[in-house]
Amino acid sequence: MEMEKYLMTPAERPWSAPAATVYAASSSTSASSGKTYRLGRIFGRDGRTLILPADHGTMLGRVSGLEDPIELVRTFLPLACDGFLLGPGVIQRTAPWFAARDAPARLLAIDSYWRGEDIGTSVLSISMARAAQLGVDGVKILMPWDVSPTERAARSQFVGLVITAAEEHGLPVMVEPIVLSSPRGEDVVAIEGDGCRMAAELGADIIKVAYPGDPELFSKWCDELGVPVVILGGPAGGNTQDLAELVTEAMDAGAKGITIGRRLWQRPIEEATKLLGELLSIVHRTEENR
């Protein structure tokens, strides 16, 4: 047989590395190869992903439905999803459950943000070296953007330093630009759009953001940012049909995946199981199934 029949054809990916060079060891460092490998764990061969976040305790404490995050992972692990987003303690204690070839990816929420009266503070929960030792496939950091110019400068520096440290270990970084003020005002979309632009400029590998509700605008974001954009779910609310329609609209507009937590696991398990399957089919649907 001809040698060409044995050559691997790299799958198309939503990130910037040309497919022809993804597997070219001669032009890759160990760190970039590690990042390529881990991005392939997070995203399927269709370039899409469904991630189940259960990291809320790192900032919000004892959240309803997440009183026992270990049990939540145990409950949802047998179901179909592409990855989990977890805090460091849960990552460590559940590691044996993920020690299998077909296990979902694991992303680590590596920071916490604490807002004071005048300025907030971002802190790393663990070091990047420790994250690498835990064997995670990527790390996620929060980037509050409804803050003063002084704090924006501090947040930008923090995000940049995290990305630099992660690069040394071949770890992809998911950055979450977000407006934390409540209620969310009319300028939320513009603020989070600017935050996405800054996250991309700083070197984010994945951007996690709330869907702005405007498919044309969101499509422009996805085209302009140059990295995969995944949408967050936000607080529980609405019915399953509304959520499915939102995810469908976002995916059609260019999203590369979803990170849905509270709007999933704060429902009864039977309802959550059915909804998870429906969302997975939307995220990974083919042209024939549209």
Q: What is the pLDDT of residue 236?
A: 60
Q: Which two tokens stand for residue 216?
A: 């044309």
Provide DSSP, 233-255. Answer: --SS-S-HHHHHHHHHHHHHHT-
The secondary structure element, H or E, covering residue 163 is helix 149-168
Q: What is the Cα–Cα distance from 32 to 264, expressed in whole angstroms?
A: 34
Please give the average per-residue pLDDT across 71-82, as a whole number. 87
26 in a structural domain:
no
Q: Which two tokens stand for residue 26?
A: 């001669």
Residue corresponding to tokens 């460590």: 92
pLDDT digits (tens, 9 = 90+) for 12-57: 544 444 443 333 334 456 668 889 999 999 999 899 999 999 877 5
Torsion sign, CA atoms 110, 114, 115, 121: negative
11 in a structural domain:
no
Q: What is the pLDDT of residue 69?
A: 84
227 in a structural domain:
yes
pLDDT digits (tens, 9 = 90+) for 222-244: 999 999 999 998 666 678 888 99
pLDDT-based confidence at residue 70 (cuts at 50, 70, 90): confident
170 in a structural domain:
yes
115 in a structural domain:
yes
Q: What is the Cα–Cα distance from 273 to 17, expressed in whole angstroms?
A: 35
33 in a structural domain:
no
For the entire predicted model, the pTM comes to 0.85
289 in a structural domain:
no
Q: How many domains does the chain have?
A: 1
pLDDT-based confidence at residue 114 (cuts at 50, 70, 90): confident
pLDDT digits (tens, 9 = 90+) for 115-145: 777 777 777 889 999 999 999 999 999 999 9
Q: Which two tokens stand for residue 139?
A: 């790390």
Q: What is the pLDDT of residue 180?
A: 83
9 versus 41: which is more confidently predicted?
41
Q: Which residues contact 63 (CB under 8 A, 6 or more apart)?
A: 56, 57, 262
pLDDT digits (tens, 9 = 90+) for 161-188: 999 999 999 999 999 998 987 677 779 9
Measured in residues, the chain has a length of 290
> Is the pLDDT confidence value at 149 over 80?
yes
**Boundaries of domain holding 199:** 46-282
CATH of the domain at 205: 3.20.20.70
Q: What is the pLDDT of residue 30?
A: 65
18 in a structural domain:
no
pLDDT digits (tens, 9 = 90+) for 176-226: 998 987 677 779 999 999 999 999 999 999 999 999 999 999 999 999 999
